[in-house]
A and B are shown apart, each in its own frame.
Chain A
Amino acid sequence: MANLTWDEILRTLERMLGASVTTLELFGFTLLFALPLGLLVSFGRMSKVKPLRWAIQLYLLIMRGTPLMIQLIFFWFVLPAKSILPDSFSDQTCRLIVAIVAFSLNYAAYFAEIYRSGIEGVPSGQREAASVLGFSRGQTFFHVVLPQVVKRILPPMGNEFMTLVKDTSLAQVIAVAEMTWLAGKIQASMVSIFPVVVAAMFYLMMNAVVSKCFSVAEKRLSYYH
C-alpha cells in the first residue's frame, strides 16, 4: 500500500464509493421485497391447505438447500431479463434487477421460517383472548400477534440482515458492479490489496450500523416481556 500515490488512493475511494451505492441498493431492495414476501410464504407454510403447504416446503428446500451463488447464475441465464425489461435500462441495471429478484426469493425463504418461529411462539391464549373480545382475524394478527412477533424475531433477524450485507458480494458472479466485484477489478489492475481492504472496511462499517440499529430496536421493545 505504501507505494500507492495519494491520487491513486483518492481515485480508488471515489470509484468504490460508486460501487457501494450498488451494494446498498441490492441490500435495500432485497429487504423491501423479501420482508413482506417472507411473511406471505410463512402463511403458506402454516396453511391448512396441504398442496399449498407442500409447494411452499419445496420452495423453502430449494432456496435454502442450494447455494445463492448458483441461484444467481441460474436466474441470470433463465430469466430473459433483457427482453422483458425496457430497452432504456442499461446492462448493469438489468443485472442488478436480476440479482434483486434472486436475493429476494432466497432471503424470503429464510425470513419465512423466522416469521413462522415467531408466530408459533406467541402463546395460543393471546389469540383466544382476542377472539373472545371479538377481534377479527386480521385485527388479531396485526394488533395482538405481530407486535409480539417483532420482538421475538429481532435477534435472528439481526443475524440475517448482517449475513445479507456480506452476501451482496455474491452478485459479482453475474457481474453486478458492487463493492467486491469492483475491488477485485481494481486490485488486479493496480496489483494492490488496498481496494479489497476498503471493501472489507465498508462491509464492517455497514454491519456495525445494522447491529447498532438492532440493539436500539431491542432496547425499545424491552418495556415488556
Chain B
Amino acid sequence: MNVLSANHIVKSFGKTTVLKNISFEVKRGEVLSVIGPSGSGKSTLLRCCTLLERVDSGNIVYGDLPMVQTGEHGKGIYSPGPVLQQIRRHFGLVFQNFNLFPHMSVLRNITEAPIRVAGQSREEAESRARALLSDMGLSDKERAYPCELSGGQQQRVAIARAMALQPDILFFDEPTSALDPELTGEILKVIRKLAEARMTMVVVTHEMAFARDVSDRVIFMDSGVIVEQGDPKQVIEHPKSERTRTFLSRFNGI
C-alpha cells in the first residue's frame, strides 16, 4: 500500500522550473533515499510533499487523502484547509539545521505539538516524549535547552519531536549535512534503527554508503528530473545512466 504517491509534479520559482514532471511513490515500511547534486530539486521535492512549498501542478495523495490535484486548467488545486491539516498529521520532517525551538526545553520541544495540535494530555505527551528521548539516548537531557546540546543531540531531539506525532511517513532533508563525520554517524545510527523498526522514511542525503546500505530504493535526481531509480546497490554501484555515473564518481570509496 502506498503511504504517499506523487504524480507529474511541476514546480517553478519565477522562470526557473525546479521540478519537471516528477512522479514517485512510497510504500508502507519502505526507506527511500533521494540523491543527486545540489540544486537538483531534491529539497524542493521534500518541501512540496510537506506543504512548505506549493506545486504548480500535479497530484500528491497521502493514503486516500488528496493533498493537491491538477484541475481543469492544468493548475494544481489544493484540498481545503481542514484536509491539509489532517494530512499534516500523516508526515513528519527533520530539517538539515534542526530548527528546534530555542526558547523551549528539550521535553517541551517534543510535547508542544502533541499537546497543542493533537490535543493529548500533558501526562500522555510527556510519557511518550520520555520514551522517545530514551530511544534516542537522551534521557538525561529533557530539561536542557537546545543551545546546550551538540549538533548531533539537537538532531536527535528533532527526530524525537517529529516522531512524537506518530507520523506514517518521516522525511529527512539532508539530516547530517550540518554535522561533522562523528556526529553524522550518530544520526545515521538512529535512522538505521528506525528503518529496522519498519518506519516509512524518505531521506534526502549525500551519504552514499548510508543510501546503499539502509534504503530499499534510491532515486537519483538531476536538474529537476528523476534520472534513475531502483535498487540501491544497482543504482549506486552499477548506475545505468551516464549522468548518475559522473555524479557518483565524485564519491570515493563506496
A residues with CB within 8 A of B: 123, 125-126, 128-135, 139, 143-144, 147-148, 151, 223-225
Contacts and interface: CB of A to CB of B under 8 A. Distances in A.
A128 B94 CA distance: 11
A131 B51 contact: yes
B101 interface: yes
How many of chain B's residues touch chain A, expressed as a range?
20 to 34
Contacts of B38: none
A147 B102 CA distance: 10
B88 A134 contact: yes
Contact of A129 (B89, B101, B147): B101
For A131, A143, A148, A224, the residue with the greatest tally of chain B CB atoms inside 10 Å of its CB is A224
Interface of B: 50-52, 85, 88-89, 91-93, 95, 97, 99-103, 112-113, 116-118, 145-147, 161-162, 165
Contacts of B116: 135, 139, 143
Q: Binding site of A, secondary structure by majority: helix, strand, loop or mixed? A: helix
A185 B50 CA distance: 68
B99 A134 contact: no
A128 B99 CA distance: 8
B145 A129 contact: no
B95 A224 contact: no
Contacts of B50: 132
A224 B104 CA distance: 9
Contacts of A134: 85, 88-89, 113, 117-118, 165
A197 B219 CA distance: 77
Given A125-B99, A151-B103, A224-B146, 18 more contacts: A123-B99, A128-B52, A131-B52, A132-B52, A132-B88, A132-B91, A132-B93, A133-B113, A133-B161, A134-B85, A134-B89, A134-B117, A134-B118, A135-B117, A139-B116, A139-B117, A224-B103, A224-B147
A129 B101 CA distance: 9
5 contacts: A128-B52, A132-B50, A132-B93, A133-B117, A224-B103
The 10 closest A-B pairs by CB, nearest first: A133-B113, A125-B99, A129-B99, A134-B117, A134-B88, A132-B93, A224-B102, A147-B103, A224-B145, A224-B147
A133 B166 CA distance: 11
Contacts of A225: 102, 147
A129 to B, nearest CB: 4
Contacts of A129: 93, 95, 99-101
Nearest to B146: A224
Nearest to B161: A133
Contacts of B99: 123, 125-126, 128-129
B72 to A, nearest CB: 27
Contacts of A224: 102-103, 145-147
A225 B52 CA distance: 25
A134 to B, nearest CB: 4
Contacts of A133: 88, 112-113, 117, 161, 165
B52 A125 contact: no
B101 A144 contact: yes
Nearest to B118: A134
A125 B47 CA distance: 12
B97 A125 contact: yes
For B95, B116, B118, the residue with the greatest tally of chain A CB atoms inside 10 Å of its CB is B116
Given A125-B95, A129-B95, A134-B85, A148 B113 contact: no
A174 B118 CA distance: 56
A151 B99 CA distance: 18
A75 B91 CA distance: 55
Contacts of A135: 113, 116-117
A131 B117 CA distance: 11
For A129, A139, A143, the residue with the greatest tally of chain B CB atoms inside 10 Å of its CB is A129
Contacts of B165: 133-134
Contacts of B52: 128, 131-132
